Each structure stands twice: as C-alpha cells, then as structure tokens.
Amino acid sequence: MKSGNKPYTELDVWKETRGLVKEIYLATKNFPKEEQYGITNQIQRSAVSIPSNIAEGCGRNSPKDSLQFFYIARGSLYELETQLILSFDLTYLCQEHLNFCLHLVEKCKKLLNGFIRYYRGFLKLNRNLNDQQITNNE
C-alpha cells in the first residue's frame, strides 16, 4: 500500500518509528548482561515490531488486514512504553534517558494515531464511493 503516492519508507510515521528503534538500541546497550534475554530483548523486539508492522500493513492487499497491522504497531508502542518505565524502576535507565525515550514514544503515538485516522477515513471514503457505484448501476 502507498499513502498517496508514497511508499511506506517515505511515510513520516515509519521514519519516526525507525528512529525510535535506533534510540532504544542505544538506551539498552548498557543494560545488565543477565538481562540480555530478558527485558533487553523484549524492549528491542517491541521497538522493532513498530515500523515492521507499519511496513507489513502497507504491504497487505486487504485494507482490513492493513489496518490490523497498524493497530498491532500501536499496541507495540504501548508495550514499549511500559517496558521503558519498568527499566527505569529496575534502575537500568536514568530519569533523563527515560524522559527522552518516552518523548519519542509519545511523538510516534501521535503520528501513528493520525495515520490510522487518515487510513480509516480513506477506507470510509472508498466504501462510500463503492456504495454509490453500486446504487448507480442498479
């Protein structure tokens, strides 16, 4: 799927979530070694899941499937937010780095929610056009 004439790699929401992944990897770089297969891995997987699900949604043929992947990406953002807070609670992240990461998460949430609203509106418009075509053909 393209948004307008843009491939997914040119979507602001995909670019921003891609940048978030980089920051998450930097933030978890100094987590304890014993957490390598614990919270470190989970945070990284949650972060990677966000732009990956946006891309997968854009590649689906069914608009309903596409939307489902965008919702999964949004869920991963909330999961990541929780894991960052838990990392702070466990003293793996300092307050400053937590605030910076949460700011990026919030920015990504706004972009993704806006993209989902746009996409749902696009689907509704197409449904209305299809309904009009059916009515006109009767």
Segment 85-107, tens digit of pLDDT: 999 999 999 999 999 999 999 99
Residue 136 has pLDDT above 50, yes or no: no
Give the confidence band of 127 by pLDDT, cuts at 50, 70, 90.
low
According to CATH, the topology of domain 8-137 is: de novo design (two linked rop proteins) (1.20.1440)
Look at residues 71, 100, 94, 98 and name the one whose alpha carbon lies nearest to residue 82: 98
For residues 48 and 17, what is the distance between their CA atoms, to the nearest angstrom? Answer: 9
- Please give the structure tokens belonging to residue 82: 């929780």
Domain locations in the chain as residue ranges: 8-137
The pTM of this model reads 0.87
